Chain A
């Protein structure tokens, strides 16, 4: 356990946002060729008025348009009969073009890779959590879970405790958050729970926490926002749908996002016993729920983990802790709290 702790804590680094390197493409410049310049290719150009061109192409004209390769073939045929061309052998010879070797690289559609997430409409029991740690205000994601007290919210351990270190203050859960609105209210926490392995050792293997929230206007959270079931000690390699409110670029944190896929082990750090799914959610999604999927991407079933960590600044996988008996014990204690 000690070695795991030291490895985890040495690798873990908290950051307040992703580093995103943006490169501005410089505009290419070229000197126009002089007309009739014998060493420059002669280029004819015409300035087109976009609207005029668009108006020109009626459906009838488009249908009647001659294929370009037909015109090209005619142009080649015309060149055969140009007087100054000399036929050599059995080919058609023209002026021999000479010049320096020129190579112009193509460009790819940067930033157009397929997203590993899906935009979602708000879900009543999923929301954002806001809290203060070490004097700074932070945001993560959370979910209302089924509990005897009807007032329990799941999130990541690092979203309510420094791991290792102090618990958060000013913790509040905002279910169904969208664009700054809190249609189901704001639910302040009364108590926060985390595995000792997280709060004392910062062991990422146990990066989960639960908040017990106060009643609001005499009502309990689960009666207003609903609550999903939870499940522990499941087989590994299940298919999951994960939700969260990623706020670090390129996301804004204003809307809910999901990822979906079959979980695989973290091969880089197998000692964590975590699982990952393809996902490009960024900071702010931490603590968002993972639901066991029935093989489709339809929600929601039972919650079986939370968004925990990724690798590097542009992670394409989200990893989550295995919810075993230790995390179950924490859940049991929180769910029973008055």
Chain B
């Protein structure tokens, strides 16, 4: 079993957190999401460029 990276990018004592306070009230958000809007919401996804051959990582199905 491989060990985790010895260094996870920048040092953890740095502040790596960004955040946003939602300006809308909970009631406004709930009112926004009508059944129609929920049904029409599009999946947001990341698809990287397809390689010529499949990824040769070694994910395994058990």
Contacts and interface: CB of A to CB of B under 8 A. Distances in A.
Majority secondary structure of chain A interface residues (helix, strand, loop or mixed): mixed
Contacts, number: 240
B42 A16 contact: yes
A322 B4 contact: yes
A90 to B, nearest CB: 55
Given A237-B1, A277-B59, A326 B43 contact: no
B10 to A, nearest CB: 7
Interface class of chain B by DSSP:
loop
Interface residues of B, number: 49
Given A197-B16, A205-B9, A235-B3, A316 B54 contact: yes
B59 A317 contact: yes
A57 interface: no
29 contacts: A11-B49, A13-B46, A13-B47, A13-B48, A139-B38, A159-B44, A161-B20, A169-B22, A180-B35, A180-B38, A188-B26, A190-B22, A195-B18, A196-B17, A196-B18, A197-B9, A197-B10, A234-B4, A262-B62, A265-B58, A266-B55, A266-B57, A269-B48, A277-B60, A284-B43, A311-B54, A312-B49, A326-B10, A329-B17
Nearest 6 A-B pairs (CB), nearest first?
A312-B50, A283-B43, A324-B8, A283-B45, A284-B43, A167-B20
Interface of A: 1, 11-18, 116, 130, 132-133, 136-140, 158-159, 161, 167, 169-172, 180, 186, 188-197, 199-200, 204-207, 214, 216, 233-239, 246-248, 253, 260-269, 273, 275-279, 282-286, 295, 297, 308-313, 315-317, 322, 324-326, 328-330, 333-334
